Structure 1
Amino acid sequence: MAISEAEAIVMEVLWHQAPRSAEEILAEVGPRQAWQEGTVKSLLNRLLKKKAVKAEREGRRYLYTPLLSREKYVSQESKGLLDRLFGGRVAPLVAHFSEQHKLSRKDVAELRRLLEELDDER
């Protein structure tokens, strides 16, 4: 399922706290994004069609709850990035970041720890 950048902003609100109404989502992201109510409702309708969220009627409004977990979304996005840009390989991604952005000692230590854990699992 492809989630746009704007849809991901709405999803972040719902992952943080759900269920939420369109008005509550607008109150949280509207000022920062310069979005109007129609924008939020359009994004929610797109997410409903993608089955990323569900809506339940409460009186005169709908409350939205995510069906797509943040973990699954992050996994899909990371795999897509790896596949598109690095042939599905992690090493070229890490090499790219180390060349473009200086890795801190903490980052390097964490990478070493992760590699050791992977080695221990094999």
Structure 2
Amino acid sequence: MKQLTKAEEDIMQILWKLKKANVKTIIEDFPEPKPAYNTVSTIVRILESKGFVDYEKEGKGHIYFPLLQQQDYSNQSINSLVDNYFQGSFKNMVSFFMKKNDISLNELESVLKDINKEK
């Protein structure tokens, strides 16, 4: 699966939230300063060519919707992060974040309890 650029990911986040939207509606969901219509339109077409979105015709315009679920992209991105920066080891990743974010053993135990509850 291809990685998204920051601009593409911003638009996908909006489409995942809205489920379906035209370019005007996507722009309305952006914070100020809003991107230009042509910029968003171009990025949406790139997302379409990459297979991330598709559209339905509505009058003279298009209503875009995601083809990829947010959870699927998140999983792929995390796996890529682990592979590229932590030698494929989730243990190395957790260790790194514990050290860099000064996470206590109590916090880690709490996370483990939450994970075990979900299983």
One fold, TM greater than 0.5?
yes
Contact 1:30–1:36 (CA under 8 A) maintained in structure 2 = no
Deviation at 1:106, TM superposition (A): 6.8
Cα deviation 1:40-72 (Å, max 9, x = unaligned): 111101100011000111012110000011011
Within 5 A, what are the aligned runs for 1:36-51? Answer: 36-51=36-51
Instruction: Work out the CA distance in 2 between the residues paired with 1:11 and 1:66.
Output: 7
Normalised to the residue count of structure 2, the TM-score between the two structures is: 0.87
Instruction: Work out the CA distance in 2 between the residues paired with 1:19 and 1:58.
Output: 12
Structure 1 gap segments, 5+ residues each: 118-122
State the percentage of identical aligned residues: 23
Within 5 A, what are the aligned runs for 1:1-122? Answer: 1-29=2-30, 31-32=32-33, 34-103=34-103, 107-113=107-113
Q: How many residues align?
A: 117
Change (3 A) 1:46 1:6: same
The alignment's C-alpha RMSD in Å is: 2.2
Q: Which protein is richer in helix relative to its size? A: 1
Structure 2 gap segments, 5+ residues each: none
Normalised to the residue count of structure 1, the TM-score between the two structures is: 0.85
Cα deviation 1:26-46 (Å, max 9, x = unaligned): 1111625x4111111111011
Structure 2 counterpart SS, 1:20: coil
Cα deviation 1:67-119 (Å, max 9, x = unaligned): 011011001100110000001101111111111112267741333226757xx
